[in-house]
């Protein structure tokens, strides 16, 4: 599945509810999902891995990010291409 296909799937299923909620409230849901992902990663690092939960939390974060992008009118695939692929991507690295 391409990023654009996933973003459209999320839009088709949830846009009416998501757009009514608005970006600020949706952002709070997104942050909550990031927190749940952080918890799953922390459990993994503490030697209590739950791979199924970890995968679910990664999927939730991506879904809520796509939701925010839809509400804000951002084409994720286009934005990713412009930032990371076009002209060789950004210079440097993050440590």
94 domain-assigned: no
Q: Which domain holds residue 33?
A: 3-86
Look at residue 71 and tell me if it is in a domain: yes
Domain contains 92: no
Q: Is residue 95 part of a domain?
A: no
Q: What is the pLDDT of residue 95?
A: 61
- Please tell me the predicted confidence (pLDDT) of residue 86: 85
Residue 91 lies in a domain: no
Q: What global pTM score does this model have?
A: 0.89
What letter would DSSP give residue 48? -
Assess contact for 11 and 76: CB atoms under 8 A.
no
- Dist. CA 14–CA 86, nearest whole Å: 31
CATH (domain of 46): 1.10.287.1080
pLDDT value at residue 94: 66
**Count of domains for the chain:** 1
Query: What pLDDT does residue 31 have?
Result: 98
Structural domain contains residue 18: yes
So what's the pLDDT on residue 76? 98
Interval 25-71: pLDDT, tens = 999 999 999 999 999 999 999 999 999 999 999 999 999 999 999 99
Asked whether the beta carbons of 65 and 76 are under 8 A apart, the reply is: yes
Please indicate, yes or no, if residue 65 is contained in any of the structural domains.
Answer: yes
Judge whether 82 lies within some domain.
yes
């Amino acid at each position: 599945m391409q990023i654009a296909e996933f973003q459209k799937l999320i839009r088709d299923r949830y846009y009416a509810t998501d757009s009514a909620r608005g970006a600020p409230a949706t952002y709070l849901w997104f942050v909550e999902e990031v927190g749940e992902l952080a918890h799953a990663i922390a459990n993994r690092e503490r030697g209590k891995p739950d791979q199924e939960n970890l995968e679910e939390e990664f999927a939730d974060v991506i879904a809520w990010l796509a939701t925010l992008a839809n509400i804000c009118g951002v084409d994720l695939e286009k934005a990713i291409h412009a930032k990371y692929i076009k002209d060789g991507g950004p210079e440097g690295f993050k440590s």
